[in-house]
Amino acid sequence: MFPKNAWYVACTPDEITDKPLGRKICGESLVLYRGPDGQATALEDFCPHRGAPLSLGKVENGKLTCGYHGLEMGCDGKTVAMPGQRVRGFPAIRAYPAIERYGFIWVWPGDAALADEAKLHHLEWAENPAWAYGGGLFHIHCDYRLMVDNLMDLSHETYVHASSIGQKEIDETPTKTVVNGDEVITSRHMENISAPPFWRMALRGNGLADDVPVDRWQICRFTPPSHVMIEVGVAHAGKGGYDAAAEHKAASIVVDFITPETETSIWYFWGMARNFKPDDAELTATIRAGQHTIFSEDLQMLELQQRNLLAHPERKLLMLNIDSGGVQSRKVIDRLLAAEAPQQVAA
Handedness of CA 269, 274, 277, 283 (dihedral sign): negative
**Residue 279: Cβ-neighbour burial (10 angstroms; 0-12, 13-18, 19+):** exposed
Chain positions contacting Fe ion, by CB under 5 A? 298
* HSE-CB of 30 using CA atoms within 13 angstroms: 30
Distance CA 311, CA 83 (A): 50
In the bound complex, what is the minimum distance in angstroms from residue 30's beta carbon to ligand FES? 16
For helices 281-311 and 197-205, the axis angle rounded to 10 degrees is 160
Identity of the residue, 70 or 103, whose beta carbon is nearer to ligand FES in the bound complex: 70
What is the smallest separation between the CB atom of 71 and ligand FES, expressed in angstroms? 4
Residue 52 vs 299, nearer CB to ligand FES = 52
CB 147 within 8 A of CB 285: no
Closest alpha carbon to 228 in 152, 297, 154, 170: 152
Q: Cα separation of 12 and 75, whole Å? A: 19
Return the amino acid letter for 148.
Answer: V
Q: Which does 309 bind (CB under 5 to 8 A by kind): Fe ion, ligand FES, none?
A: none
The entry of ligand FES, Fe ion, none near residue 49 (CB within 5 to 8 angstroms by kind) is ligand FES
335 binds ligand FES (CB under 6 A): no
Task: Count Cβ atoms within 10 A of the Cβ of residue 114 and give its class: 0-12 exposed, 13-18 middle, 19 or more buried.
Answer: middle
Residues 326 and 334: beta-carbon distance below 8 Å = no
120 interface partner picked from Fe ion, ligand FES, none, CB below 5 to 8 A per type: none
Q: Find the binder of ligand FES among 10, 31, 40, 47 (CB under 6 A).
A: 47
Work out whether 68 is an interface residue with ligand FES (CB under 6 A).
yes
* Angle, in degrees to the nearest 10, between helices 144-152 and 281-311: 120
Q: For residue 260, what are the CA distances in angstroms to 143, 145, 239?
A: 7, 9, 41
Q: Which is nearer to ligand FES, 73 or 185 (CB)?
A: 73
Cβ-based nearer residue to ligand FES, 69 or 204:
69
Q: Does 66 bind ligand FES (CB under 6 A)?
A: yes
Beta strands in 12-128 (DSSP E): 21-25, 28-34, 40-44, 58-60, 63-65, 72-73, 79-81, 95-96, 98-101, 104-107
Which residue in 58, 63, 69, 277 binds ligand FES (CB under 6 A)? Answer: 69
Among 22, 28, 52, 278, binds ligand FES (CB under 6 A): 52
Tell me how far, at minimum, the Cβ of 52 lies from ligand FES, in Å.
4
Instruction: Give me the least distance between CB of 61 and ligand FES, in Å please.
Output: 19
Amino acid letter for position 271: G
Residue count, binding to ligand FES (CB under 6 A):
9
Give least dist CB 163 to Fe ion, A: 13
Partner whose footprint covers residue 66, from Fe ion, ligand FES, none (CB < 5 to 8 Å by kind): ligand FES
Q: How far apart are CA 71 and CA 87, in angstroms?
A: 9
Minimal distance, residue 44 CB to ligand FES, in Å = 12
- Residue 298 touches which member of Fe ion, ligand FES, none, C-beta under 5-8 Å by kind: Fe ion
The closest alpha carbon to 228, from 131, 325, 293, belongs to 325
Site residues for ligand FES, 70-129, by CB under 6 A, read: 70-71
Q: End-to-end CA distance of the chain: give it in Å, rounded.
A: 13
Residues in the chain: 347
The item of ligand FES, Fe ion, none sharing an interface with residue 47, based on CB under 5 to 8 Å by kind, is ligand FES
For the CB of residue 161, give the shortest distance to Fe ion in the complex, in Å: 6
Q: Rule CB under 6 A: is residue 131 a binding residue for ligand FES?
A: no
Please give the residues from 280 up to 299 whose contact with ligand FES meets the rule CB under 6 A.
Answer: none
Q: Which is nearer to ligand FES, 56 or 190 (CB)?
A: 56
Catalog residues that contact ligand FES under the rule CB under 6 A: 47, 49-50, 52, 66, 68-71
